[in-house]
Amino acid sequence: MSDLARVEGERQGAICLVRVHGEIDLSNAQEVSSAIGSAMGQEARWLVVDLSDITYLDSSGVALLLRLAERLQARRRQLHLVVPRGSPVRRVLVFTGLPRVIPVEARLEEALARCGPGSPDELA
């Protein structure tokens, strides 16, 4: 993976926490998507993608998140995003209407708290 973005995955029980650092654009969206996919594995029921250290994200990044949410939903898994207030990423997400589809929290703790038991099934 090129040094434009970095993906780190971590398991916390049934939750998989993936931190993405750097920038996401047309040149690496596919790569970042595959890296998140392999970081998640098969068992996790919730995926929390922390975008706190993302400094740039364009519509190919938004598309990658939407596709990811769709794929997860098909497997009855749920995606949560962490985007701090004031992050440049937050504006892109709001402008594209993404928070209507994927839950977005300002802090990691809030996102983890929302990964309650049973919620993915309720969602389905």
Partner 1 sequence: MERAAAKLEMRVRQRTSQLSATNLQLAEAQQVARIGSWEWVIPQHRISWSDELYRIHGHAPQGVPVTFETAVAQVNPEDAARIRSNVEAALRRAADHELPNIEYGITRPDGAERVPVGKAKLYVGPDREPLRMVGTVQDVTEGRKAEREHRIAETLQRSLLPDRLPELPGLALAARYLPAGADMAVGGDWYDVVELPSGHVGLAIGDVAGHGLRAASTMGQLRMALRAYALEEPSPAKVVSRLDRLVSRLLVSEIVTLVYLVLDLDSGTVQFANAGHPPPLVMGPEGRTAYLEDGLGSPLGCDEPGLPDERTFRLATDSTLLLYTDGLVERRGTSLHEGLERLGALAAACDQDIEALCETLLRSMVEDETADDVALLAIRPVPLTGRPLLRMPAEPRVLAPLRQTLRRWLRESDADPQVADDILLACGEVCANVIEHAYGAKEGPLEISLDVRDGTAEVVVKDRGSWRPSSGLDGGHGLPLIQELMESVELSGGPHGTVVRMRRRISSGAGS
Residues at the site binding partner 1, with contacts judged by CB under 8 A: 1-4, 22-23, 25-28, 56, 58-60, 62-63, 88, 91-92, 95-96
Distance in Å, CB of 91 to partner 1, minimum: 7
Q: Which is nearer to partner 1, 58 or 106 (CB)?
A: 58
* CB of residue 75 to partner 1, shortest distance in Å: 25
Strand partners, 21: 6, 53
Residue with tokens 């922390």: 50
> Could you tell me the smallest distance in angstroms from the CB atom of residue 95 to partner 1?
5
If the CB atoms of residues 44 and 92 are measured against partner 1, the closer one turns out to be 92
Q: Among residues 94 and 113, whose Cβ is nearest to partner 1?
A: 94
**Residue 3 or 122 having the CB closest to partner 1:** 3
